[in-house]
Amino acid sequence: MKNVVLVHGLWAPGAVMQPLAARLALAGFRCRTFSYMGASRPLAAHAERLARFARELGPAHFLGHSLGGLVVLEALCAHPELAAGRVALLGTPARGCDAARRLARHRTGRWLLGRSAEHWGGDGAARWTRAEALGVIAGSHPFGLGRLLGPLTGVNDGVVRLEETAVEGMAGRIVLPVSHSAMLISSRVADNVAHFLAHGQFAPAR
């Protein structure tokens, strides 16, 4: 399987996925970007559109960054009939997001988060129950807008803390020295994604 569906995060156009898509193309993958307006509609609505997009495309791997990872999880878990390969999440706050909760305390912040706000608050266990392998990449370079709202505890990428990226049932998780946004332009991230999509596991650390 060579098709890969890439799903961007909140406040970002689909074009931000192009550097990563270009690197995956060099590894032999055919990349398609799914675009959506993250704050304008409920997550479930974006997930339904992604499911229709995936049906039209056919079997594919999935890659989601930040909120895009939640859209991928929602679409694939709600539609077990979708033909999917492996799934990779980059900096996805699967268990809520402290930075977003702080932002939501302010009127402007609630406006910016829009309909996505309800998905940043929970800290319950995120679960992956499909048979396909799910891999998670988290960042450890604490540079990002989240830190403007106050310090983030523990390992974090400047927006999302390591603990917030855990998904019960994931095949593996690695932590790379990148920030939340820099994941999209990092060759190291792209190499690890390509390896996971090809093999269903991350390469051993060197």
61 is a domain residue: no
Tokens representing residue 193 in the block: 């994604």
Give pLDDT tens digits for 119-177. Answer: 555 556 689 999 999 999 999 999 766 555 667 889 999 999 999 999 999 999 999 99
160 is a domain residue: yes
Mean pLDDT of 91-97: 90
Confidence of residue 41 (pLDDT cuts 50, 70, 90): confident
Domain count, the chain: 1
26 is a domain residue: yes
Tokens representing residue 26 in the block: 């060099």
What pLDDT shows up at residue 120?
A: 55
Sign (positive or negative) of CA dihedral 168, 170, 174, 180? negative
204 is a domain residue: no
Mean pLDDT of 114-118: 55
70 is a domain residue: no
CA distance 191 to 43: 29
What pLDDT shows up at residue 165?
A: 96
Tokens representing residue 58 in the block: 């056919």
What pLDDT shows up at residue 175?
A: 98
Percent of the chain with pLDDT over 70: 81
* Residue range(s) defining the domain that contains residue 52: 3-56+75-167+180-199
CA distance 187 to 47: 28
CA atoms within 13 A on the CB side of 1: 20
141 is a domain residue: yes
Query: How many of the other CB atoms lie within 10 Å of CB of 201?
Result: 13
Mean pLDDT of 12-35: 95
What pLDDT shows up at residue 111?
A: 42
The DSSP bridge partners found for residue 173 are: 136
Mean pLDDT of 200-205: 88
What pLDDT shows up at residue 139?
A: 97
CA distance 108 to 123: 23
Decide if 172 contacts 202 (C-beta within 8 A): yes
Decide if 196 contacts 133 (C-beta within 8 A): yes
What pLDDT shows up at residue 21?
A: 97
Decide if 58 contacts 83 (C-beta within 8 A): yes
Tokens representing residue 83 in the block: 């033909």
CA distance 137 to 90: 5
Q: 170 to each of 3, 129, 200, 206, how far by Cα in Å?
A: 21, 9, 11, 22
Q: Assign residue 106 the CATH number of its domain.
A: 3.40.50.1820
